[in-house]
Amino acid sequence: MNQFMERAVKLAEENVREGQIPFGAVLVKDGEIVTEAAAGEQENPDVTGHAEINAIRKAQKQLQTSDLSDYTIYTSGEPCSMCMTAIYAADIETVYFYNGLEQMTEVGMGEGEKIYEELSKPNEERSITIKHFSDQTDQTDPMQLWYDKQS
Ligand SMILES: [Zn+2]
């Protein structure tokens, strides 16, 4: 196996041995591991504490940039939609995963696959209420304010 994927899978294995969930990720640039993380490294409960997010946070803090273009992420599990959003936002160019969403679902960790399905539905058909609050008010629209400040 590729050395970086091997490391991501090892982090996931160690996480399970420590009573955590089976996820690890490494961020690589120019053939070197820049950061690595497992899921659930936070002191407090945190639903965003996925291995990929943790590795991205560490890199952005360490490098003081949100731009991770030219980086590759190796992750022990196919990224969920939250992690994919972070990967897109950071401009990470390549993602390699070990366990796919189907394999996670087979062992009872089907949330990632379920949420991808949810997001593919129109808002009205989702299990969470999501509505556009379109009432006009006399408040400043922060989006318009931001736009005006750009020009
Ligand atoms: Zn995730």
Q: Which of 13-17, 69-73, 137-141 is the least confident region?
A: 137-141
Q: What is the pLDDT of residue 151?
A: 85
- Does 105 have pLDDT greater than 80? yes
Measured in Å, residue 79 CA sits from the centre of ligand 1 at 5
Instruction: Name the token pair of 115.
Output: 């949420």
pTM tops 0.75: yes
Measured in Å, residue 140 CA sits from the centre of ligand 1 at 35
Respond yes or no: is residue 6 known to be catalytic: no
Rounded Cα distance, 98 and 104, in Å: 11
Helix, strand, or coil here: 16? helix
Q: What is the pLDDT of residue 43?
A: 82
Of all residues in the chain, the percent with pLDDT exceeding 70 is 100
Measured in Å, residue 100 CA sits from the centre of ligand 1 at 12
Q: Which entry of 52, 78, 93, 102 is annotated as an active-site residue?
A: 52
Query: Mean pLDDT over residues 93-117, rounded?
Result: 96
Rounded Cα distance, 21 and 77, in Å: 11
DSSP secondary structure letters along 36-101 = EEES--SSS--TT--HHHHHHHHHHHHHT-S--TT-EEEEEE---HHHHHHHHHTT--EEEEEE-H
Sort strands 24-29 and 72-77 into parallel, antiparallel or unpaired: antiparallel
Q: What is the pLDDT of residue 70?
A: 95
Measured in Å, residue 17 CA sits from the centre of ligand 1 at 20
The H-or-E segment that residue 136 falls in is: none
Spell out the residues 6+ positions from residue 5 whose beta carbon is closer than 8 angstroms to its own: 74, 96, 98
- Does 135 have pLDDT greater than 90? no
pLDDT (tens digit, 9 = 90+) per residue, 56-75?
999 999 999 999 999 999 99
**φ, ψ for residue 124 (rounded to 5)?**
-65, -20
Q: How does the average pLDDT of the chain come out, rounded?
A: 95
**Exposed, middle or buried, 30 (CB in 10 Å: 0-12/13-18/19+)?**
exposed
